[in-house]
Amino acid sequence: MEVFVQQLINGLTLGSIYGLIAIGYTMVFGIIGMVNFAHGDVFMLSAFIALIFFMLISAWLGAGLIVLSLFFVLILAMFFTSLWNWTIERVAYRPLRGSFRLAPLISAIGMSIFLMNFVQVVQGPRNKPTPPMLNKSILLIDSATYPVSISYKQIIIIVSTVVLLAAFWFIVQKTSLGRAQRACEQDRKMASLLGIDVDRTISITFVMGAALAAVAGVMYLVLYGVVSFHDGFVPGVKAFTAAVLGGIGSLPGAVLGGLLIGLIEVMWSAYFTIDYKDVAAFCILAVVLVFMPSGILGRPEVEKV
Amino acid sequence: MAIDATTPAKRQADMMAALKEAAFAGLITLGLCIPIISWGTRQNIENQLVLDPRWDTVAWAVAIVFVGRFLMALRKQTRDPNKPAVRLLPHGTIGFFQRHSGLFSLFGLGFLIVFPIIAITLAGWGGALKWIDNFGVQILIYVMLGWGLNIVVGLAGLLDLGYVAFYAVGAYSYALLAKNFGLSFWILLPLSGILAAFWGMLLGFPVLRLRGDYLAIVTLAFGEIIRLVLVNWTDFSNGYAGISGIPRPTFFGIPFTAADNGFAAVFGLEFTPLYRTIFLYYVILSLALLTAFVSLRLRRLPVGRAWEALREDEIACRSLGINTTNTKLTAFSLGAMFGGFAGSFFAARQGFISPESFVFMESAIILAIVVLGGMGSLWGCAIAAIAMIGGTELLRELDFLKQVFGNDFDPTKYRMLIFGFAMVVIMIWKPRGLISTREPSAFLKEKKAISADMVQEGHG
Amino acid sequence: MSDAITLLKVEHLTMRFGGLTAVNDLSFEARTGEITALIGPNGAGKTTVFNCITGFYKPTEGRMALIHPLPDTDQLIADTTQRGVSSINRASVHLLERMPDFRIAWEAKIGRTFQNIRLFSGMTVLENLLVAQHNPLMIASGFTFLGVLGARSYKVREKQAIEKAKFWLEKINLIHRADDPAGDLPYGDQRRLEIARAMCTDPVLLCLDEPAAGLNPRESLELNTLLLSIRKDLGTALLLIEHDMSVVMEISDHVVVLDYGTKIADGTPKEIQADPKVIAAYLGVDDEEVAAVEAEVGL
């Protein structure tokens, strides 16, 4: 029981990160029907941006105000990652809009290779550890055999995920921007005929996806305290799995899928073997796609004859 | 290059607008450089991370983008809008090339056959090894993989992102069976192909009803699962450490060693490792040609036509009585089989394999070769493989750059960076690939190439 | 036609999508050598009926049987004698709701066209017709194995397939465009090519989904001639959905009228024209369409 509660906490923390990345996949897929392969690498890039800003700001503010410096890091990382994703969309995807289906996918794979190697070249191939931070935790269940605790890190991750998701949800559901986005999802041509600036809406979608990926990047850095240039691929694929599991195109689905993938991964590692945790994630992806391709919250697709 | 510099500017260049555009691009570049380029992270002696400011690099990047963008904007303004864009090749080159494709194929084949001799003549016995191995064999492996995947992606329109899994199946089949049972290369080569085809069928059966990107992702997942199993199941595959000491192929029983019964001794030649490399070169050349021959033949058979029809419109295929599942499965497993052949060759050539050789990036590179070449075109695949693999191999040779950028400049570091960037640029330049027209498989009077706008690329 | 026998027997066909009943308890028959028309206002469920018959949808309820007509009795006796066997089991009934779509096309021999044309646009006109002969060619190529080796028997069979394609290309006046991509043809030609492609599968029943849609009057006339010739020269029965009443009334032997998924009338074109229920169904739609119908049926 104690083990389960502890793993539940760990799983939700990890799941929040996957969920945040998954939203980027699901939004882009919803609006332009493309798997944004480079999204995992954008997430990795954001973790690097966060790492550098964290070092700069914590040196300036001092180690005492760690939560405040994290707040600044978050804002800055969101801004600069968004700028990157905006540029990527402009350079690598926009010229291919309305082109053949495979072209943007290949372009995105190229972008993913580029970003990964770019970070390797400019920041070096080694793992980059952060100075230790927020190592305290609160004891929840005081058990002699297996004490259950929640760390400050985990609290920060879960709380900020919930707050940011609420803000994001408000934007998508209640503002005209969100309406424009949903209109473009339904029918891009019609939306543009009704006066929606489709290119701008798509750009904003990429910016929003990147901002959430940056949140995930900061959280990842806080949680693991280390990042390297190849850390984008596996979390990226898992987040995509989450998006598919939740039903691609559905925002609550992406979050739900992220939490499920996080929980499954953590539980698998705790109860079975840690070696095969990625195999488990990929197997889930395959099984979900084969047996329920529309996911948990997605709309079923009817074949048009 | 067909830029005509003497053409008088039709419209007055708007300096201000160009400057504005360039300033905007420069500003964006500045933003992108912060903080990822402007501060480098480095571990000091106490293993703590420290930051090195690198504003000079940022300044260079911004300046290059500013000037580049400015010149581009100016050229765009002064160019006659009625004049077509810059062409790398004179008009009609590709058409000419395609009309005489038979002749060119003959030339290409002739060149490939005499390539080792040319290499030895030009680079000498010592220098030729690098050219035959790094360029000849390496590129031919990718050409073969590209042609194999071309059956799946180019003809049948099934997007496969896990092709490297079958390459791995082939390699491990050869490595394990050769080491444990001492079977020879020539028995194991077809066997590995059959095993890979079997895996193709096994994996293909449940997933081939999925469409488009979903199929791509499932195949990616399968590719990763196979790799992760190879990593984790150490009793079977020795995990990350890989399998070493894989028996090398022999010349019909005569090993390529310096021993008395070795190839050189038997034929009364002086021993050099080059003989094995040349032998391997001809093996992979014949394997690649086999792949090309089979895919060309199949295109003219009902099964090949059904693949292409499937790529065009699956529903129409079903209305004509074509069993689409079986048709897809044949394409998938046939592609897997060629991947398996290439894999067993790879294991035999290297003598050592580990899961590191079968990462997702390899699948991406092979797929990129197929798409960049123009889906369905064997020539396109070959050209793309030469450009992408040969081009990045060539970076290893650019030692003179060290004199320009200083001694710690290592061009190979930029290999994959340039590779990724080139993928994006080629896609934007030619979204349908280098050779995008389709050649009909049958004709009544005259064979006319079909333009890419007509050809569908498949939904599954 | 007096010697027409039942070819397709649809009984109690019902198709529901979630809460929507697209086809409700529909029963009708199509007979050999006849042209049966399925008409009804937009959204009446006609295409859904087609998709059920050709296996693209699995019906919620109902039975659809295709009965292949027996060949001439004397011929059958001669065949049995010649083969040196004591009996030949030739009678074949296909329950379509139990078969996947590709088997319906290949075994039950039902060909079809689509409302929005589905040609292989990147393949030439000739290739389109060769793909339609996939199954016999596949057998001739020894399931590819003999073909790869370049067997003569396959080459001979492929020549025959090209001859058959030529026959159809001449019939639809497209022989001069045989080597052009199908996507390059004008709309009317594409419609005819799709019919020819379906005919290359040697169907006993050809289902046409709005073959005259988008055709000009001259093309429409050509289509009538083509359809009548298919019935007369090849003995293929036709089942067609059509909005163009001039086509329906002119060529069909038997008309089934659907409205909101339910059959409201069934009979000869004459009977249908006079049926008050049919007129009401069309009246209920909109004035323009009623006027069009009235003009066409000569009321």
Q: What's the confidence (pLDDT) of residue C2?
A: 45
- Write out pLDDT tens, residues A5-23: 888 998 999 999 999 999 9
The confidence band for A287, taking pLDDT boundaries of 50, 70 and 90, is confident
- Beta strand spans in chain A (E): 128-129, 137-141, 148-151, 226-227
Distance from CA of B297 to the nearest CA of A (A): 26
Cis peptide leading into residue B35 (ω within 30°): yes
Residues C47 and C170 in one domain: no
Res C169: pLDDT: 92
Chain C residues lying within 8 Å of A303, measured CB to CB: 56
Report pLDDT for B336: 94
* Cβ–Cβ contact B423 with A under 8 A: yes
CA of C167, closest CA in chain B: separation in Å?
Answer: 13
On whether both C299 and C242 belong to a single domain, the answer is yes
CA distance B416 to chain C (A): 35
The Cα diameter of chain A in Å comes to 67
Tell whether the model's pLDDT for residue B40 goes beyond 60.
yes
**Packed helices A233-246 and A2-32: angle between N→C axes, nearest 10 degrees:** 80
Instruction: Kindly tell me if the per-residue pLDDT of B335 is higher than 70.
Output: yes
pLDDT digits (tens, 9 = 90+) for B230-257: 998 888 888 888 888 888 887 777 777 7
CB B21 within 8 A of CB B71: no
| Predicted pLDDT of residue C207 | 92
- Whether the predicted pLDDT of B330 surpasses 80: yes
Residue C291 scores a pLDDT above 70: no
B45 touches chain A (CB under 8 A): no
The residue whose two tokens read 């709701």 is C97
**Which of C201, C228, C262 marks a domain boundary?**
C201
- CA angle, corner B12, sides to B6 and B15, nearest 5? 105
Torsion sign across C-alpha atoms B265, B270, B272, B278: negative
Residue A239 identity (one-letter amino acid): A
Q: Does domain B120-429 have CATH number 1.10.3470?
A: yes
**Helices within B249-399 (DSSP H only):** 263-266, 274-299, 302-312, 314-319, 324-350, 360-373, 378-385, 391-395
Examine the domain organization and report whether C39 and C104 are in the same domain.
yes
Query: Chain C: nearest CA to B275, how far in angstroms?
Result: 33
Which pLDDT score is estimated for C290? 58
d(CA A21, CA A12): 14
Residues of B in contact with A249 (CB under 8 A): none
**Confidence class for position C262, pLDDT limits 50, 70, 90:** confident
Region of poorest pLDDT, from A179-183, B267-271, B290-294, C25-29: B267-271
**Contact call for A56 and B35, based on CB within 8 A:** yes
Cβ of B301 and C198 within 8 Å?
no
- Tell me, what's the pLDDT at A43? 96
DSSP label at C252? -
Q: What is the pLDDT of residue A82?
A: 95
Q: Which residue has the tokens 């695949």?
A: B381
What pLDDT is attached to residue C122?
A: 87
Residues of A at the C interface (Cβ-Cβ below 8 Å)?
302-303, 305
Place of tokens 């000009």: C216
Flag if A92 and B428 touch (Cβ within 8 Å).
Answer: yes
Least confident of B452-456, C67-71, C239-243: B452-456
Nearest residue of A to residue B25, measured between CA atoms = A87
Minimal CA separation from A302 to chain C, in Å: 10
**Residues in chain A closer than 8 A to C47 (CB atoms):** 305
Q: Is the pLDDT of residue A105 over 90?
A: no
Backbone angles phi, psi at B453, to 5 degrees: -65, -30
User: Is-cis flag, bond preceding A252, omega within 30?
Assistant: no
d(CA C256, nearest CA chain B) in Å: 23
Q: Is C164 on the interface with B (CB under 8 A)?
A: no
Please give the tally of structural domains in chain C. Answer: 2
Interface of B with C (CB under 8 A): 294, 297-298, 301-303, 305-306, 308-309, 312-313, 315-324, 330, 438, 440-448, 450-451, 454-456
Q: Please classify residue A187 by burial: count the beta carbons closer than 10 Å to its beta carbon, then call 0-12 exposed, 13-18 middle and 19+ buried.
A: exposed
Give pLDDT tens digits for C120-160: 988 999 999 999 999 888 888 878 777 777 778 888 888 89
Residues C141 and C38 in one domain: no
**DSSP assigned state of B435:** S
Mean pLDDT of chain B: 83
Residue range C272-276: mean pLDDT, rounded: 82
Q: Which of A49, A109, A290 sits opposite B206 (nearest CB)?
A: A290
Residues C210 and C276 in one domain: yes
Under 8 Å between Cβ of C101 and B317: no
Instruction: Say if strands C61-68 and C92-95 run parallel, antiparallel, or are unpaired.
Output: antiparallel
Q: Is residue C285, in this structure, part of any structural domain at all? A: yes
Q: Which domain holds residue C189?
A: 118-201
Q: Kindly state the tokens that stand for A25.
A: 């996949």
Q: Residue C168 and residue C158: Cα distance in Å, rounded?
A: 15
Q: Ranked by mean pLDDT, which of A285-299, B28-42, B385-399 comes out on top?
A: B28-42
C270 and C171 together in one domain: no
Q: Where are the extended beta strands (E) located within C143-294? A: 205-209, 237-241, 254-259, 262-267
Whether residues A305 and C17 touch (CB distance < 8 A) is answered with: no
Residues of B in contact with A104 (CB under 8 A): 427
Residue C79 reports pLDDT greater than 90: no
CB C137 to CB B444 under 8 A?
Answer: no
Using CB atoms, pick whichever of B303, B322, B451 lies closest to residue C144: B303
Tokens of A237: 């694929």
- Ranking A76-80, B301-305, B328-332, C292-296 by mean pLDDT, the lowest is C292-296
Kindly list the residues from chain C whose CB atom is less than 8 angstroms away from the CB atom of residue B313: 118-120
Q: Which of C171, C201, C231 is the last residue of a domain?
A: C201
Q: Which chain C residues are within 8 Å of A305, Cβ to Cβ?
A: 47, 51, 56-57, 114
Residue B160, classed as helix, strand or coil, is coil
Looking at residues B439-453, what average pLDDT do you find? 77
In a domain, C217, yes or no: yes
Residue A246's Cβ-count burial label (10 Å; 0-12, 13-18, 19+) is buried
* Minimal Cβ distance to A113: which of B216, B224, B416: B416
Please state, rounded to an integer, the average pLDDT across all residues of chain A. Answer: 86
CA dist list (Å): B89 to B94, B156, B379, B433, C246? 8, 30, 17, 15, 56
Handedness of CA B369, B370, B374, B379 (dihedral sign): positive
In chain C, what residues touch B320 (CB-CB under 8 Å)?
Answer: 105, 111, 131-132, 134, 197-198, 201
- Residues C221 and C208: their CA atoms lie apart, in Å, by 16
My answer on whether C269 and C208 are in the same domain is: yes
Token look-up 């949800």 returns: A169
- pLDDT at C1 > cutoff 60: no
Q: Is B325 on the interface with A (CB under 8 A)?
A: no
The predicted model gives C180-196 an average pLDDT of 90
| DSSP single-letter state for residue B169 | H
Tell me the two tokens of residue C16.
């529901």
C-beta separation of A167 from A174 below 8 A: no
C20 & C127 share domain? no
Measured between beta carbons, the chain B residues lying within 8 angstroms of C154 are: 301
Give me the mean pLDDT over the A98-123 stretch: 88
3-state SS class at B121: helix
* Residue B360 at interface with chain A, using a CB cutoff of 8 Å: yes
**What are the residue ranges spanned by the domains of chain A?**
2-230
Size of interface A-C (CB pairs under 8 A): 7
pLDDT at position B454: 72
The residue type of A156 is I
DSSP class of B155: I
What is the rounded CA–CA span in Å between residue C299 and residue C292?
A: 10
C-alpha count within 13 angstroms, C-beta hemisphere, residue A265: 26
pLDDT at residue B7 is higher than 50: no
Angle at B457 between CA A21 and CA B385, to 5 degrees: 80
pLDDT beyond 60 at A95 = yes
Compute the nearest-CA separation of A223 from chain B (Å).
17
Q: Look at residue B9 and tell me whether its pLDDT is greater than 50.
A: no
**Residue B104 has which token pair?**
């060119």
d(CA C131, CA C196): 12
Q: pLDDT-derived band of residue B79, with 50, 70 and 90 as boundaries? A: low
Bridge partners for C258 per DSSP: C263
Contact A35, A112 (CB under 8 A): no
Which residue among B301, B323, B444 places its CB closest to the CB of C102?
B323
| Residue count (chain C) | 299
Does A302 sit within 8 Å of C56, measured CB to CB?
Answer: no
Q: Select from C56, C132, C154 the Cβ nearest to the Cβ of B320.
A: C132
Nearest CA in chain B to A230: B361
**Structure confidence at residue B5 (pLDDT):** 45
Stronger pLDDT, C53 or A274, i.e. the higher one: C53
Q: For chain A, say whether B152 makes contact (Cβ under 8 Å).
A: no
What does A183-237 look like in DSSP terms, one character per residue?
A: HHHH-HHHHHHTT--HHHHHHHHHHHHHHHHHHHHHHHHHHHSEE-TTTTHHHHH
Measured between alpha carbons, how far is B175 from B19 in angstroms, rounded to an integer? 61
Q: What is the pLDDT of residue A216?
A: 93
Residue B8 scores a pLDDT above 70: no
C56 touches chain A (CB under 8 A): yes
Report yes or no: A258 and A246 within 8 Å, Cβ to Cβ.
yes
Q: Which of A56-65, A90-99, B349-358 has the lowest mean pLDDT?
A: A56-65
Nearest-angstrom CA–CA distance, C161 and C167: 10
**pLDDT at res. B195:** 94
Calculate how close chain B gets to C242, using CA atoms only, in Å.
Answer: 20
The answer to whether the Cβ–Cβ distance between B322 and C131 falls below 8 Å is: yes
CA distance B413 to A248: 37
Nearest CB neighbour to B319, from listed C101, C147, C178: C101
pLDDT band at C81 (very low <50, low <70, confident <90, very high): confident
A118-175 residue pLDDT tens: 999 888 888 888 877 777 777 777 777 777 888 888 888 888 888 888 888 888 888 8
pLDDT band at residue B3, thresholds of 50, 70 and 90? very low
Minimum mean pLDDT among B346-350, B409-413, C204-208: which range? B409-413
CA distance C11 to C135: 30
Same-domain pairing of C5 and C101: yes
Q: Are residues C128 and C95 in the same domain?
A: no
Residue pair C119/C182 in contact (Cβ under 8 Å)? The answer is: yes
**C178 to B450: CB separation less than 8 angstroms, yes or no:** no
Asked whether C47 and C211 are in contact (CB, 8 A), the reply is: no
| Of residues B217, B422, B428, nearest to A289 (C-beta) | B217
Residues C43 and C66 in one domain: yes
Cβ of C201 within 8 Å of Cβ of B455? The answer is no
Q: How, if at all, do strands A226-227 and B352-353 pair?
A: unpaired
- C231 and C196 belong to one structural domain: no
What CA–CA distance (Å, rounded) separates C255 from C247?
Answer: 12
Residue C263 sits in a domain of what CATH number? 3.40.50.300
Residue B369: helix, strand or coil by DSSP?
helix
Contacts of C138 in chain B (CB under 8 A): 302-303, 306
Lowest mean pLDDT among B31-40, B114-123, B313-322, B358-367: B114-123
> Which of B423, B425, B426, B436 to mutate to probe the A interface, most A CBs <10 Å?
B423
pLDDT number for residue B96: 67
CA A98 remoteness from chain centre:
26
On whether the pTM is more than 0.80, the answer is yes
Nearest residue of C to residue B316, measured between CA atoms: C118
What average pLDDT does the segment C15-43 reach? 87
In sign, the C-alpha dihedral spanning B259, B263, B264, B269 is positive
Give the residue with greater pLDDT, B85 vs B379.
Answer: B379
Lowest-pLDDT range, B83-87, B272-276, C132-136? B83-87
Single out the residue in C168, C185, C201 at which a domain terminates. C201
> Quick check: A302 and C51 CB within 8 A?
no
Q: Look at residue B10 in the predicted model and tell me its pLDDT.
A: 45
- Pick from A48, A51, A113 the residue to mutate for testing the B interface (most B CBs within 10 Å): A113
Packing angle of the helix pair B302-312, B274-299 (nearest 10 deg): 80
Give C-chain residues touching A302 at CB under 8 angstroms.
17
Say whether C112 and B319 touch across the interface (CB within 8 A). yes
Contacts of C148 in chain B (CB under 8 A): 294, 297-298, 301
Q: What is the pLDDT of residue B1?
A: 38
B40 touches chain A (CB under 8 A): yes
